[in-house]
Amino acid sequence: MDIVKEVLEKQQQNLQKYKPITVEKSLDPTIDVGHMMVSDPNYFDDEQMKADREKYVLDLTRDNVQLLINSIWQLPTERVDESIVAKLPPPKAPLPRARKLPVPKPLTKWEEFAKKKGIKKRTRDKKVFDPVLDKWVPTYGYQRYKAEKEKDWVLEVPQNDPLRDMFKEKRDLRIERVAKNEVARMKNIARAKKIATPRTGFVGPESASAKQLITASNIAKASTASVGVFQESLPKDKQARGIGVKELMPGEKRKKKISTIAGEKRRNMEIVSKVLNKKPKIDIDRAISLQKSEARAEREADEGGDDGSKKKKKAGKKSKSFSRKKPKGGQGKRNPNKRAVGRKRR
C-alpha cells in the first residue's frame, strides 16, 4: 500500500507541473488566428501583480497562448513531409504598415524591348574553350582580361604607322565602352525615378547613334548670334525630331509664335487692367535719401547763420597779423620784357 501511495503522490506532483488546456476568463479574448494575435480585454489583478509580478505575467501569457493554440487545433489540418500543418484563415484585424507597399522594379529599355519581342535571356557558360590559347578561359571577370592580354600580346599596325599605338587604342575603346554602359545604367535609374535628364551628349562619334549626332549638329548650328538664321546648310542636312528636341534648341523661346484670337484678347485685357489699376510706386530708399538731404540742408543753414553773427561782431577789430601775398603761377606764359633776377647760369 505504501508503494501505491508513493506512485499516486508522484503522479499528482507531475500533473501539477502541467496546467490544463482549458482556460476560463470572465471576458472572452479576441483571437485573430490569421495574424496569430490575441487581444485580452480583462483587467489585471492588482494583488497578484504586487505579490509576484513576473509569475503573474508569465501565467497570463501562458493562458492566452493556450487559447491561441486551441483555436489553431480547431482548424483543418494536413500532413506535409511527416509534419502536421494547419492552414490559417485570412486575418481579421487590419494592421497598419510601417512603410509603403513594395513597388515592382521598373524594367530597363533593353528588358522592355526583349519582353516585347519575346527575347529570352540565355545563361552564359562560365568558361569557354579558346582555340588560340588552347585552354579553357572564363567568359567574364579579371581572369578573362588576363586571357585577352595573353592572347593579344602582339597587334597589327595598319599601314605600318610608327606613331600609332594599337594597345592604347584598344585600351581607350574598352574604357569608352565601360563609360557608355555606366551612362546607360544611370539613365535607367533616372528613368525609373522619373528624373528629367538631358537628351544631348554622347560618349564619342564612334559610339553615338545617328539620332544623337543629328541632334548635336542641329544644336551647334543654332548656337550662333543669329540663332542659326545665316548658317549655311549642309548637303542632305536633316532636322532633329523627337520629344524634347525643341526645348534644347537655342533661341526657340525667342521665335515668334503663332498668335490666336483668344490669346491676343487675353493679352490685351491684361494690358488694360494694368493701365487702369496702375498705382504710384513708392520708392522707400529714394524717400529716405531725400529726407536726409533736406535735414542736412537745414542743419547747414542753421550753422551758417551762427557763423555770420560771429563774423559781424569781429568786423570792427583790425588784424595785426601781416600776410605775404602769395605768388601766382604764370599758367604757362612767359613775359619776354621782364628782366630775370639773379645770377645768370652758363
Nearest CA-CA partner of 26 in 41, 38, 37: 41
Examine the pLDDT at 338 and tell me if it is beyond 80: no
* Residue 14 parent element (H or E): helix 2-17
Catalogue the E-assigned strands of the chain: 30-32, 37-39, 77-79, 84-86, 127-130, 135-138
Examine the pLDDT at 128 and tell me if it is beyond 70: yes
The CA distance from 323 to 92, in Å, is 115
pTM for this entry = 0.32
Pairing of strands 127-130, 30-32: unpaired
Percent of the chain with pLDDT over 70: 77
Percent of the chain with pLDDT over 90: 7
Q: What average pLDDT does the segment 241-258 reach?
A: 60
The CA distance from 170 to 176, in Å, is 10
The CA distance from 239 to 249, in Å, is 11
The CA distance from 83 to 143, in Å, is 48
8 Å CB contact between 245 and 268: no
Examine the pLDDT at 308 and tell me if it is beyond 70: no
Ranges 94-103, 171-180, 257-266: which has the least confidence: 257-266
- Structure confidence at residue 324 (pLDDT): 55
Nearest CA-CA partner of 135 in 124, 122, 120, 146: 146
- Structure confidence at residue 124 (pLDDT): 81
The residue among 281 and 70 whose pLDDT is bigger is 70
Within 8 A by CB and 6+ apart from 103, the residues are none
Instruction: For residue 184, name the pLDDT band (cuts at 50, 70, 90).
Output: confident
Q: What average pLDDT does the segment 95-122 reach?
A: 87
- Convert the pLDDT of each residue in 156-172 to its tens digit: 888 888 888 888 888 89
Q: Which of 82-86, 281-285, 341-345 has the highest mean pLDDT?
A: 82-86
- Structure confidence at residue 2 (pLDDT): 74
Ranges 56-65, 119-128, 253-262, 322-331: which has the least confidence: 322-331
